Amino acid sequence: MNLVESLGAHRLLAIVRGKDPAAALSTVRTLVEEGISAVEVSLTTADALTVITRARAELGPDALLGAGTVRSAADAARAVDAGASFLVTPALVEGLEPYGVPVLMGALTPTEIEAALARGADAIKLFPGSLGGPGYLRALRDPFPDVPFVPVGGVDAQAARDYLDRGALAVGVGSPLVGDAADGGDLEQLRVRAAEFLKTAAGGRP
């Protein structure tokens, strides 16, 4: 199953960023153990490339493990070399096609969405999603009915359900899901939050 198919099936992308590489790795491991199939490690995470490399070694070649906050082709090269199987950008980024992995490219306006698609984006990271909210996504569905959108930014469990109800392919969730786990926080509470978001993604109300 490819990235877009997986996001469409599971409807949730976990975003890990933190100050403690060991805790970030444990967070990735815990999220996967709890059933979250797609995990992004932000390149702003301390020693992010090592986290990706070690997570890839643990999870195997088929795991949907990506790199986020990719801002250049050089970032993409390092991330793919470390083991990232998809890339997530915060904005429009040139030159990612040669790396041969799916790209969720950041865009907000209709013009940016068209530009991202022209750059080969497999899906649009609607960012920051909190700026327009679920209503803005609903407005975008009319001119872009076939574009897969993944809203990111300020997505709590209730917002996740609202986005999914309004046509999002999936939602990308960072701190409302991960909390302080990637900084060394409580992994048991992370498991609780993961279960809540998985229920929401599957159609249950938070």
Question: What pLDDT, in 10s, does the model give residues 117-170?
Answer: 999 999 999 999 999 999 999 999 999 999 999 999 999 999 999 999 999 999
pTM over 0.85: yes
Q: CATH no. for residue 62?
A: 3.20.20.70
Q: Is the pLDDT of residue 204 over 90?
A: no
User: Distance from first CA to last CA of the chain, Å, rounded?
Assistant: 28
Catalytic residue among 40, 94, 114, 188: 40
Q: Is residue 206 part of a domain?
A: no
Q: Is residue 121 part of a domain?
A: yes
Q: Residue 125 catalytic?
A: yes
Catalytic residue among 114, 125, 188, 196: 125
pLDDT in tens, 91-108: 999 999 999 999 999 999
Please give the residue range of the domain that contains residue 80: 3-201
Q: Residue 40 catalytic?
A: yes
Q: Is residue 112 part of a domain?
A: yes
Residue 42 region by backbone torsions, left for phi larger than 0, else alpha for psi between -120 and 50, else beta: beta
Number of structural domains the chain divides into: 1
Q: Is residue 138 part of a domain?
A: yes
Q: Is residue 131 part of a domain?
A: yes
